[in-house]
Structure 1
């Protein structure tokens, strides 16, 4: 804007002079004109906001303004320079308040129309944004966002409306993104994700909002993801070919940006057997139709936080639920099964911290769970108990280590104490058997076995004092000898020897209990 001074308050005198003026009659000078020796103006200083500080400076040559410098934000720093020719602005420079560097240059044609704008947005002395105009209208915009001196964004215009925008997002000189406009509104955007010259993503727009998207996620040249958007730009429906077979195997639908349901072909056989239903953006139920009969065979229920609560399954696909799984805090806590399909649960599995700890089974479907398996009884990996009458006293107990039976206990009289105990080695072979009578502290007999599980020795505690008083010796399953302690001193004092037919051959006696035989008898009498 040009300023013209008329009716200055002082007359021109010999030599350079100044003239002051109070244009708003507030008692303060707001214009000062500097005149040369002939009285022609050289410079005009203006206080445009009446703060007492000159903020606009106009320079003249031959009575014509040739340059204007201004402090547009009134911080006492020049931030704008304009150059004029024949009264027309031909160039404008905007300066940074911080560095004083030129951050924008605008060029104008002979009639004052904008021709070009160059911007230095990073104040690094490089103009990184250039706007080009024709007949006063923008027709090209170029920008260098990575500071390499080459534009990586280019946008063309027609009648001030955008037509095409291209972006080189990796600085290789090849444009990777193209935005196409119709009537100045974005219509389509294509993106080359891996910079190979092929566009993997295409998004189409309507009224500036995305309408649909097509994407080639695995870069094989085939579109495998299709997205439809609602009027707010939120995904409304997504169809995916997750296996890249050319067939849609997952369909997701949304409402106002929140998922409503997901239909999937999990096993890739072409049938979408899995349906997930959502509420308030969280999954609440999922069904699976494994035999493709239109009826769910597995239903999973979720809580309000999207964590599993239970799963109901028809494992034999006969249309009846036979397995129930229960969860707490997304961890499995219990499984119940109707293995015979008669409507009665005959198997329950319990879990602690996600690990199986107990199993109970009702094998005869009488409502009594007579078999219990425990997995938290160290040192055993599993302990199985049989309580056929449900009196809480198992008749049999089987202890396993790493899947191998190591101990079997039988309680014949059901008094809560084992009457028969079988011990096994790491290979599962019988090594020892202990048989008790009249309770734990009653008489007992212990059998020892070889690698072929044949008895080789037995120790009999007839009094229940914890000390054997008869020792049996076997070979190939046949009795070969018997030792007896008759005075409970822990040492045998009678020895019997048998032949291969288990016929008694000889008996020896230690009459004075000194550990040495004193007399002998054969099977037919005393020698």
Structure 2
């Protein structure tokens, strides 16, 4: 019985240690930032939206899913006066881990389309992820994976799909790995071996390349077959029209008349 109790206690200790670790930082406990207080006793939530002291700004505070206290702030720009007065959302910031500090901010243009977003994904008080939008759609993502304050991974999107990635794997501030994607899937990867910021070797996903080439060839064959079918149908219609003209021309008018 004593042995079973010790085993159970050890198991609970291991589970507790596992739950207390952050897998995003290789098992190390993620840093945390505590909210400071202003001179008047209010909490300094490190707002990243530009609204304080501006007469043409309005704010709203709401509690998002799982939050007891308001953790979402929206900032509106006031345009016009009287009956023409309108509000346009220009900024939104969120405290995602409910520690009182805003860790995600997104800014919008006058059409309400997303422009930029910055976030502190590991809650250490420093921005580590930057998003850029074009036409309201995600265009670029920059990530600081080693927590030095500088991005070392760049992702680029086209038409809402991942197109390429650059990575700085040796932490010298310059990309040395390039990944090219097609239809959202990795097609080939380039590696800079000598540090001159140029690809020295391309590694291909031959299976994906073969499938894509087969798909393109199939589409070309289908397009060729469709064009040939249409041409045959057009020719058949033309031949039928010509036959109708010939038949009407060869029919002799009746020469018998009653006298």
TM bucket (normalised to shorter chain) is 0.5 to 0.7
**Relative contact order, higher structure (CA 8 A, sep 6+):** 2
- 1:5-29 deviation digits (Å, cap 9, x = unpaired): xxxxxxxx96212211112474422
Count of residues paired in the alignment: 150
| Distance verdict in 2 for CA 1:159–1:16, change over 3 Å | farther
Contact 2:163 2:184 in 1 (8 A): yes
- 1:229-257 deviation digits (Å, cap 9, x = unpaired): xxxxxxxxxxxxxxxxxxxxxxxxxxxxx
Contact 2:88 2:112 in 1 (8 A): yes
Q: Does 1:82 align with 2:131?
A: yes
**How many angstroms apart in 1 are the aligned matches of 2:100 and 2:208?**
42
| Distance verdict in 2 for CA 1:161–1:47, change over 3 Å | farther
Give SS of 2:205's match.
Answer: strand
More strand by share: 1
Q: Does 1:126 align with 2:174?
A: yes
Matches within 5 A, 1:71-220: 71-96=120-145, 98-110=147-159, 112-158=160-206, 160=208
Q: CA RMSD in A?
A: 2.5
Contact 2:168 2:176 in 1 (8 A): yes
Q: Does 1:23 align with 2:72?
A: no
- 1:215-272 deviation digits (Å, cap 9, x = unpaired): xxxxxxxxxxxxxxxxxxxxxxxxxxxxxxxxxxxxxxxxxxxxxxxxxxxxxxxxxx
Match of 2:90 in 1: 42
| Distance verdict in 2 for CA 1:53–1:97, change over 3 Å | farther
- Per the TM alignment, residue 74 of structure 1 is displaced from its structure 2 partner at its CA by 1.5
- Per the TM alignment, residue 88 of structure 1 is displaced from its structure 2 partner at its CA by 1.4
**How many angstroms apart in 2 are the aligned matches of 1:158 and 1:31?**
47
Unaligned ranges ≥5, structure 1: 1-12, 164-527
Give SS of 2:152's match.
Answer: strand
**How many angstroms apart in 2 are the aligned matches of 1:80 and 1:25?**
23
**How many angstroms apart in 1 are the aligned matches of 2:141 and 2:66?**
32
- Per the TM alignment, residue 40 of structure 1 is displaced from its structure 2 partner at its CA by 1.1
Contact 1:155 1:162 in 2 (8 A): no
Contact 2:154 2:167 in 1 (8 A): yes
- Per the TM alignment, residue 150 of structure 1 is displaced from its structure 2 partner at its CA by 3.5
Match of 1:57 in 2: 105
- 1:462-511 deviation digits (Å, cap 9, x = unpaired): xxxxxxxxxxxxxxxxxxxxxxxxxxxxxxxxxxxxxxxxxxxxxxxxxx
**How many angstroms apart in 2 are the aligned matches of 1:159 and 1:91?**
28
Matches within 5 A, 1:90-489: 90-96=139-145, 98-110=147-159, 112-158=160-206, 160=208
**How many angstroms apart in 2 are the aligned matches of 1:143 and 1:124?**
15
Contact 1:35 1:42 in 2 (8 A): yes
Unaligned ranges ≥5, structure 2: 1-53, 80-86, 212-259
- 1:433-477 deviation digits (Å, cap 9, x = unpaired): xxxxxxxxxxxxxxxxxxxxxxxxxxxxxxxxxxxxxxxxxxxxx
Contact 2:118 2:127 in 1 (8 A): yes
Match of 2:224 in 1: none
- Per the TM alignment, residue 146 of structure 1 is displaced from its structure 2 partner at its CA by 3.6
**How many angstroms apart in 2 are the aligned matches of 1:160 and 1:30?**
45
**How many angstroms apart in 1 are the aligned matches of 2:198 and 2:140?**
24
Contact 1:79 1:97 in 2 (8 A): no
- Per the TM alignment, residue 162 of structure 1 is displaced from its structure 2 partner at its CA by 10
**How many angstroms apart in 2 are the aligned matches of 1:134 and 1:15?**
45
Matches within 5 A, 1:491-506: none
More helix by share: 2
Contact 2:145 2:153 in 1 (8 A): no
**How many angstroms apart in 1 are the aligned matches of 2:156 and 2:134?**
12
TM-score, normalised by the number of residues in structure 1: 0.27
Bigger CA radius of gyration: 1
Contact 2:76 2:90 in 1 (8 A): yes
